[in-house]
Amino acid sequence: MVTILLKPLANGGWSICRLHITLFSDLQLGAAIKLAREMARDEFQRLGRETRVEMPGPSSTLVLASYTHGVVTPAQGATGQGRDVLAA
């Protein structure tokens, strides 16, 4: 599974990381969430890799989007393909 991670910056901005590499930095939270979801959806659709977007929460990690193959859950809908699970 590919994980795209949102990380807070000291200046109040957010960065988008993959495999400990910062891809984008100093974004507003809404823009960072939107871009990270687009990246995850694109990775899933083009390459078929299961992908998720996470960000740190106050007590645990929040999953903002998950694109997976397999068992259909209410959050995934009827197609079996993952969908965003938290609105920006």
Locus of tokens 């078929």: 48
What is the spatial distance between Cα 80 and Cα 24, in angstroms, rounded to a whole number? 30
- The model's pLDDT over 31-57, given as tens digits with 9 standing for 90+, comes to 999 999 999 999 999 998 899 999 999
pTM of the predicted model as reported, rounded to 2 decimal places: 0.76
Mean pLDDT of 2-26: 96
Q: Which helix (H) or strand (E) holds 5?
A: strand 2-8
Q: Is residue 78 classed exposed, middle or buried when 0-12, 13-18 and 19+ CB atoms within 10 A define those classes?
A: exposed
